[in-house]
Amino acid sequence: MSEFDKREESFELKFAHDEELHFKALARAHKMMGLWAAEKLGKTGAEAEAYARALIEQDLAAHAKAGVLGRIEKDFAAAGVAQSEHQISRHFEEFRAAAEKDIKR
């Protein structure tokens, strides 16, 4: 195996590792977001966990952050929870940053 091949393999392994960490951090952020939203919606215990799990599963199916945030916005509107799109997005970014920090430990 040439030095070039070794370097290429090393970069590929690093990329795969980074993508795995990103996936784990995003799933964790969605769970944190789901638990936060569940609290705002008055859900507790198993019901809150189920709500958070549903958001993670929705993200896995849709592969889009906007889908999760959009669902929370709709759920909040239906329940009369006063949170703007900006506030919801801001909370998600805070949870994402915390999740990435946790994953990198």
Any idea where the domains of the chain sit in the sequence? 24-104
Q: Could you read off the pLDDT of 18-27 as tens digits, one per residue?
A: 899 988 898 8
Residue 68 burial (C-beta neighbours within 10 Å; 0-12, 13-18, 19+):
buried
Non-local CB neighbours of 38 within 8 Å, separated by 6+ positions: 44, 47, 48, 51, 52
Write down the pLDDT at residue 62. 63
Contact status, residue 92 vs residue 33, Cβ threshold 8 Å: yes
Q: Could you read off the pLDDT of 38-86 as tens digits, one per residue?
A: 999 999 999 999 999 988 887 766 655 568 888 899 999 999 999 999 9
CA 58, CA 68: separation in Å to the nearest integer?
7
